[in-house]
């Protein structure tokens, strides 16, 4: 695992400390996904990209005028993450 800051490849949450990282099936830490998205080697939910975007709006509102602006910011990032990339 790297010592530099990583971002979750599902929700873009910064992962800095071990407690931020999800867990693999063997109990090891995931290098790709955060604790909220990945536990025991599996995603914690089976949401679509659109559902994930809507669920993450509250965490992206900072500095945004409204939900539409937050949604647009998320859509600049999420489609490029490992989980959502096509």
Query: Would you say residue 44 has pLDDT above 60?
Result: yes
Helix (H, G, I), strand (E, B) or coil at 22: strand
Query: Would you say residue 5 has pLDDT above 80?
Result: no
Contact 74, 53 (CB under 8 A): yes
CA gyration radius, the chain: 13
Query: Would you say residue 20 has pLDDT above 70?
Result: yes
How confident is the model over 49-69, as pLDDT tens digits?
999 999 999 999 999 999 999
Which pLDDT does position 60 carry in this prediction?
A: 95
For residues 19-45, give the mean pLDDT: 97
């Amino acid at each position: 695992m790297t010592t530099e800051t990583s971002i979750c490849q599902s929700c873009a949450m910064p992962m800095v400390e071990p407690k931020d990282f999800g867990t693999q099936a063997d109990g090891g830490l995931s290098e790709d996904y955060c604790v909220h998205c990945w536990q025991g080697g599996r995603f914690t939910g089976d949401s679509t990209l659109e559902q994930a975007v809507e669920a993450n709006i509250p965490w992206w509102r900072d500095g945004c005028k409204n939900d539409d602006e937050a949604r647009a910011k998320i859509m600049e990032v999420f489609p490029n993450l490992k989980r959502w990339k096509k």
